[in-house]
């Protein structure tokens, strides 16, 4: 059976520099403590949404006027890092190493009469209580969006590599390679409850036409603050949010550990559907 890896990342930008300012390239590579590149790390200027994300090789690059900036490097599972960067009259390279986020593990779990993790339930009730507040906090917004989608074959049976198939698909000796890649730049306007306007500025695609892919930001809307959300291309049915008003009827929660980052307590919670699916949810309280 063929296995595919679909990668999609979005860059939202609402922080605009003066068009007349001289721009310089800020670039670098982000790795973990073992020197392994970290893909899709958010890199942006503090207190703004202007920035970029790293590619599959951990490389980032974007243009910025001369000045002094606090640059934020953030990715789930790693400690957030803020670096002061001075841009003069030349390009600047800043390589960054991110440390693993260390969670203090729970030593004991207290369960209620139904066998549910009491600590996790207390946290999730607080999250669910704030759901409507955050859902209605922003009435409308406008931004520029860059979407890149990649479909990669990460493994394949040897039979697939015979008869010139690997050459046609441009696969390596292990049957791996990029089958499809798309990019799109657009402007995006949203107004509650569901008014969306997206205008394409530029787009391109290469490779074999995929079974499904994401070309537009409007295809990627999945708001967990809604009780039910839909992910186009994955299912015709909606998904019950893990913080829905009736979430306890669909999910079980288990507190795995806690950590504190920049004054914020982050609880790592294992989310188990009342079926087979399992995922991790991080609840952040300030």
- pTM score of the predicted model: 0.61
pLDDT interval class at 230 (50, 70, 90): confident
Q: Would you say residue 106 has pLDDT above 80?
A: no
DSSP conformation class of 158: G
CA distance 9 to 227: 24
pLDDT interval class at 2 (50, 70, 90): very low
Q: Would you say residue 28 has pLDDT above 90?
A: yes
CATH numbers and ranges of domains, the chain: 7-97 (2.60.40.10), 104-135+241-285 (no CATH), 140-219 (no CATH)
Per the CB < 8 A criterion, the answer to whether 150 and 181 are in contact is yes
pLDDT in tens, 188-223: 899 988 888 999 888 888 777 666 666 677 777 778
- Other beta carbons within 10 angstroms of residue 253's beta carbon come to 24
- Other beta carbons within 10 angstroms of residue 276's beta carbon come to 6
Average pLDDT of the chain, as a whole number: 79
């Amino acid at each position: 059976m063929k296995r595919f890896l679909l990668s999609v990342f979005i860059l939202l930008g609402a922080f605009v520099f003066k068009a007349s300012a001289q721009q310089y390239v800020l670039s670098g590579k982000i790795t973990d403590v073992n020197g392994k590149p970290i893909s899709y790390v958010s890199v942006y200027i503090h207190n703004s949404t202007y920035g970029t994300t790293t590619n599959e090789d951990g490389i980032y690059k974007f243009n910025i006027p001369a000045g002094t900036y606090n640059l934020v490097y953030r990715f789930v599972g790693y400690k957030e890092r803020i670096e002061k960067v001075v841009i003069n009259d030349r390009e600047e390279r800043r390589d960054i190493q991110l440390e693993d986020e260390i969670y203090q593990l729970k030593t004991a779990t207290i369960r209620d009469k139904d066998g549910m993790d009491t600590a996790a339930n207390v946290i999730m009730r607080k999250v669910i209580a704030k759901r409507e507040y955050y859902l209605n906090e922003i009435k409308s917004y406008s931004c520029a969006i860059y979407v890149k989608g990649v479909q990669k074959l990460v493994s394949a049976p040897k039979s697939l590599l015979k008869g010139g198939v690997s050459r046609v698909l441009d696969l390596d000796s292990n049957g791996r390679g990029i089958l499809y890649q798309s990019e799109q730049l657009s402007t995006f306007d949203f107004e509650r409850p569901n008014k969306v306007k997206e205008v394409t500025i530029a787009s391109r695609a290469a490779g074999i036409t995929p079974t499904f892919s994401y070309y537009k930001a409007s295809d990627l809307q999945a708001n967990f603050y809604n009780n039910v959300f839909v992910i186009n291309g994955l299912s015709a049915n909606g998904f019950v949010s893990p913080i829905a008003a009736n979430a306890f009827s669909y999910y079980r929660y288990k507190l795995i550990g806690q950590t504190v980052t920049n004054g914020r307590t982050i609880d790592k919670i294992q989310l188990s559907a009342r079926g087979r699916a399992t995922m991790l949810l991080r609840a952040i309280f300030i």
